[in-house]
Structure 1
Amino acid sequence: MDVTAIIDSLNDAQRQAVSAPSRSMLVLAGAGSGKTRVLVHRIAWLIQVEHISPHNILAVTFTNKAAKEMRGRVEELLNISARAMWIGTFHGLAHRFLRQHSEEAKLPSTFQVIDSDDQLRLIKRLMKAMNIDDTRWPPKQMVWFINAQKDEGIRASHIQETGDLYQQKKLEIYRAYEDLCKRSGLIDFAELLLRAHETLRDNTELLAFYRDRFQHVHVDEFQDTNTIQYAWLRLLTEGKDNLFVVGDDDQSIYGWRGAKIENMFNFQKQYPNHLLVRLEQNYRSTGNILKASNALIACNEGRMGKALHTDDGDGDLISLYSAFNEQDEAYFVVERIRKWVAEGNSRADAAILYRSNAQSRLFEEKLMAMGMPYRVYGGLRFFDRMEIKNALAYLHLSAHKGNDAAFERIINTPTRGIGTKTIDNIRHLAREQQMTLWQAMISLLKAGHFTPRAENALKGFVLIINSLTEQSEGAELYQQVKNAIEKSNLIEFYKKEKGDKGEARVENLEELVNAARQFDYDASNEENQSELDIFLAHAALESGDAQGDAFDDCVQLMTLHSAKGLEFPLVFMVGLEEGLFPSQQSVDDFARLEEERRLCYVGMTRAMKYLYMTYAESRRLYGKENYPRPSRFLKEIPAEQLQEIRLRANVSKPVTPVKSSKSTLGTSGRYQLGQRVKHEKFGEGVVLQVDGDGAQERVQVNFADAGMKWLMLSYAKLELL
């Protein structure tokens, strides 16, 4: 491939970033400006023009989906294999590094990666063994505390005791958790990054080797990096001036989970020789959407500064809808989508974005009532599903008897008559003797400690695990997975579960065998690791991935946070009200309010052609009727980019009453405000408002028992009283 083939398709700013001489670079990439394209073409330029070996290139991003896309595009552009390059997620690359250097990392070569669910289970078990009240110290909060410390590079030994009982107890749990993981050879997600950083930092020769190897380090979504991730990058590139980062301070929306927007500003100080390139040409949205988004985000202070523009036209104005209440809002959105689909458009091209997960319920109800398929983005991924995690736990334990998390998960799943007291005895001995749960169980069995019933159940469990271990010798990966599912009796267990859920679980277990059969195993990158271990690590890392897969033809529902990185021709941003978006917690906090504004900016720039923004004049939240003000973000959008769909002056209108006192109201019905009506389900009520015409005519009725309801007259059979 010649030089022109790499850069011909790029705009001027993209070309500058791709072809710049080797040095550190900050590419400030606006939404829809082609940042992945720039990263991929930069790598291609280095290999094809600068003659850098693929072996000397590192590229890191945040999701497995993004990493897979990057590898695929590099291979397609250069017609070479990307295996020699380290392209992956922070967690995936840290795992790869630790596998190759487990001795330097002070880890057993057979260490196991645990996901967030298994981590929570371990914390719960620890707290129970330590007699800690989980109502005062909730296990989920303890997990958050431990991971937050690790993300900042802080070990339990680094934390000073302050005399505060609450902090002291959290520190005790952190210490005990570290001891348990060390004893069991377990690594959680946060530990992957921290241990990789510590191993490089504390091994001079190893650090020198990787600094020399990775002559070019690339980072995607740099604004989402946390403290330990940036520290790891700094270690690798210190003194080399070879860090190429792509990010957007205006899309930094994950501060609540540790992302540091400050990293972007610190980069400019710590790499003073860097080149700054702004990608401002947008290839996604219309001119009006971009003008509105630029005006909104300009209200934030301390930005690096950029303004998105497009060579395409302005397109439609942003539609603003003021709903009577949350029911009306949901009806309006779903009705607009119905018309969109009726015009021949795809359901999957329409997305409903909301600030809080709780907002999805009404939209789901309306979509179901209309018989329109939909999907809530961010639902459980394949490897997160309970039945899959249970099957994998059998494989974990058969390969590594010291995996306490796997032991805890399946000791009585499916139920085999092993009670809480029996498990507590095993836990107690394991803690007392500093041994694994498997070792403690075997020891107690030999001592004849259990009742005959418990002993038989435990021996049956031991027989299952040992037989899986024996059958794994020489067996193909898919056969090992199939054996685990059959021996564990999980299929029969889930067949007993009523309804579609049990059937779906069985289908998922069958799909797990297919996943193992299709697993791409590259032994060259995994020294001394069995194919099963690599598959289990892959499953754990996939489980931690927040990004979803491609969808069928369904309407997409998701939180604004989940929408980042996606795009849709038709977007509805709903619930734009003070206290909901921006959230109540951010109203009095300047930094959090600015992050909320960035979140609004992200939502707006997901829209390609049509953007609807809605708010409700009244909304029932937490069992209480509220009358919120429209979001301040709406006021920050220029009026010339907005069109109001319904003016409040036209909402209510007095009309002529129907003459018959026992008529059923249809679309041609007319009545006065205050008219008493009866509904077969809601009972008697009073008409408060009427809106729309013809088939779209509807009324708001205050029912004595059911409260206020909006009803479509073409569907609701109201009887005049």
Structure 2
Amino acid sequence: HEADAFGLTPASVQGRISKLKNELADAESYARQANMSDPAERVFVEVFADYEKSLRRANAFDFDDLIAQTVYLFRAFPHVADVYRRRFRHILVDEYQDTNHAQYSLIRELTRPVSGASGAEPYSSGGMMIFEAEPSASGPELEGASLTVVGDSDQSIYAFRGADIRNISEFERDFPGAEVVLLEQNYRSTQNILSAANAVIGNNFDRKDKKLWTDVGAGEKIVGFTGYSQHDEAQFVADEIDRLRKAGVGYSDMAVFYRTNSQSRALEEIFIRSAVPYKIMGGTKFYERAEIKDALAYLTAVANPADEMAVRRILNRPRRGIGDVTETAIARYAAEEQITFRDALANASALGVGPKLQTAISQLDAVLAEASDLMLPASGELPPPSAIAQGLTLLLNKSGYLDALRRSKDPQDEARVENLDEFVAVAREFARNNPEGTILDFLTDVALVSDADDLDDGSGSVSLMTLHTAKGLEFDTVFLTGVEEDLIPHRISTGEPGGPQEERRLFYVGITRARKRLYLSLAMTRAQFGEVSAAMPSRFLQEIP
């Protein structure tokens, strides 16, 4: 309960513990440098320590321990490390730019010279006792294993997962005498695409210079498009896909990239209306995301109070301490009084639950009633066009739903807030296009879009994905959308050290996924946080010749 008060969720605490373990910190070492005057920090340190105790009691490691504990073992018992240094004489690490500090430390330990520490001491490993013969080289040290790493510092885009670009950018300093082999010939893209990628990434200062080239020829020019709005942009993409499809390009050979998940919504709507089959890679379709379903359930509870499933869904979202027992008590009271589950919320004092739960139920009832007054005026008059967006904003704010997400330290919750902002933008847009539309019309419209059958004419589907998901993939045709300031580079990156450089690397990764055709598109206006504002072209666009 104390953790809840500081907005510490299991997911955010788990993510933070994982990040610390990847920095080779444990609860004890972290506590020594934590700001214990901050109550939230103090609670986190306690949770971290309890978590470690629970692991020890269960005789268990978590995923991050597999590497961290091995590093601790090697450092504490050099003769154990020597066993593995002798066994592994050649080490190859792929995707080295994505390694974190713990992985780097493990590689370091494995490639140190064999110390020749004597002793055939037994040591335990998962219940087995292992005995190693005493090292024969009691004299001079055995040289460390040979190490080969393969990676591209220009494709280091996982800092948020703990990847440390210094592992590759400072490799030669850490391993003196290392020989660098540049692999500059590219077998995927045309020269025009590579020249654009080279020009963009050349603006990053934390890299080893290299120039990608190919012998497949210049290829088609890169196409740029500026739409008035994100729907204009999405329509352009859909029209080009249709044109390419008629020219014989399969849907599965085309992909659309964007920086944030919330950008998929406008694309999805236009694709459904244009009968373009698509699939969301590494993600969930916009209207199938949990937070959007929650927001729809709030609206449904207002529009149709008799929809028990909708009311049950929002009962404890965000967490209000209302569990299964209380839910059953509400349902029993509703059945006894022959009223709806929704109406039962207005009688919290009669439910036989404690005062804390009564308050939580009454607050939810009050929020739903206030939104209902706004969106469904009793007089029979039509509500103002802005009522749906205003009501949705009221529900998300006064229910505490947005606050709970904003307090969370889980980066995914940040994306959920963006998705909900996008959903408010959907409501505003609906009002602009349907000035007399009611909340029921809006819910009907959303249901039709979200339930559209997947179309497929046998040539597969267009892949929609974020730039992070695109890493490692390639397509004949790539549409890189939303090339605007605050999207790529993302507004959050500007305040972080190395943030703009990482965003440039992300853009570079997007460009180099294209084999034959690359489209870069943006909009002059974009609806964000429920407001339509002018969008500026990304600084990265100006770096392309």
TM over 0.5: yes
Superposition TM-score tier, normalisation by shorter sequence: 0.5 to 0.7
The answer on 1:377 being equivalent to 2:281 is yes
Residue type of the partner of 1:201?
R
Equivalent residue in structure 2 for 1:163, among 18, 28, 36: 36
Q: Does 1:312 align with 2:216?
A: yes
Match of 2:463 among 547, 550, 556: 556
The letter of the residue matching 1:133 is: D
Q: Secondary structure at the match of 2:3?
A: coil
What's the offset of the Cα at 1:362? 1.5
List aligned pairs for 1:127-526, cutoff 5 A.
Answer: 128=1, 131-159=2-30, 160=32, 161-164=34-37, 165-239=39-113, 240-379=144-283
Would you say 1:584 and 2:457 are equivalent positions? no
CA contact (8 A) 1:200 1:206 kept: yes
Aligned residues: CA RMSD: 2.2
Q: Normalising by the residue count of structure 2, what TM-score does the alignment of the two structures yield?
A: 0.61
SS at match of 2:170: helix
Deviation at 1:611, TM superposition (A): 0.2
Deviations 1:12-60 (A, max 9, x none): xxxxxxxxxxxxxxxxxxxxxxxxxxxxxxxxxxxxxxxxxxxxxxxxx
Q: Verify the 8 A CA contact 2:233 2:522 in the aligned structure 1.
A: yes
Look up the equivalent residue of 1:144 and give its one-letter code: G
The one of the two structures with greater contact order (alpha-carbon pairs below 8 A, sep at least 6) is 2
Counterpart contact for 1:241–1:273, Cα < 8 Å = no
Match of 1:27 in 2: none
Amino acid aligned to 1:172? E
Q: Counterpart of 1:281 in 2: which secondary structure?
A: coil
User: How big is the shift at 1:136?
Assistant: 2.8
- 1 CA distance for matches of 2:274 and 2:59? 52
The one of 536, 540, 544 equivalent to 1:633 is 540
Aligned-partner SS, 2:182: strand
Whole-angstrom CA distance in 2 between matches of 1:604 and 1:557: 15
Residues in 1 aligned to 2:500 and 2:65: alpha-carbon distance in whole angstroms: 31
Deviation of 1:206 (Å): 2.5
Distance 1:197 1:588 in 2: 33
Deviation, 1:588, is: 4.7
- Asked if 2 retains the 8 angstrom alpha-carbon contact of 1:241 and 1:271, the reply is no
Quote the Cα distance in structure 2 between the aligned partners of 1:635 and 1:214.
48
Task: Give the 3-state SS of the residue equivalent to 1:290 in structure 2.
Answer: helix
Letter of the 1:163 partner, please give it. M
Q: CA deviation at 1:270?
A: 2.0
In the TM superposition, residue 148 of structure 1 has moved relative to its aligned partner by 1.1
Contact 2:525 2:532 in 1 (8 A): yes
- The match for 2:521 among 607, 614, 638 is 614
Tell me how far apart the structure 2 counterparts of residues 584 and 207 of structure 1 sit (CA, whole Å).
45
Is the CA contact 1:251–1:601 (under 8 Å) kept in the aligned structure 2? yes
Query: Unpaired runs of 5+ in structure 2?
Result: 114-143, 285-289, 291-322, 327-457
Q: Which has the higher strand share?
A: 1
Q: Deviations over 1:324-368 (max 9, x none)?
A: 100000111011111212222211110000000001111112222
In structure 1, the residue matched to 2:358 is none
What CA deviation, in whole Å up to 9, does each residue of 1:383-423 have, x standing for no partner? xxx9xxxxxxxxxxxxxxxxxxxxxxxxxxxxxxxx8679x
Q: Equivalent pairs: percent with the same residue?
A: 41
Task: Please tell me the residue identity of whatever aligns with 2:152.
Answer: D
Cα offsets for 1:152-201 (capped at 9, x unmatched): 00010112154322221110010011112222344322222212222333
- Report deviation, 1:219: 0.5
- The alignment of Structure 1 onto Structure 2 pairs a total of residues equal to 345
CA distance in 1, matches of 2:229, 2:164: 37
Aligned-partner Cα distance in 2 for 1:162–1:344: 62
Q: Is the 8 A contact 2:192 2:222 kept in 1?
A: yes
CA 1:637 to 1:271, structure 2 compared with 1: closer, same or farther past 3 Å?
same
Of 595, 619, 635, 2:502 maps to 595
Tell me, yes or no, if the aligned pair for 2:250 and 2:459 is still in contact at 8 Å.
no
Give the letter aligned to residue 299 of structure 1: N
In structure 1, the residue matched to 2:429 is none
Gaps of 5+ in 1: 1-127, 381-385, 387-418, 423-550, 639-721
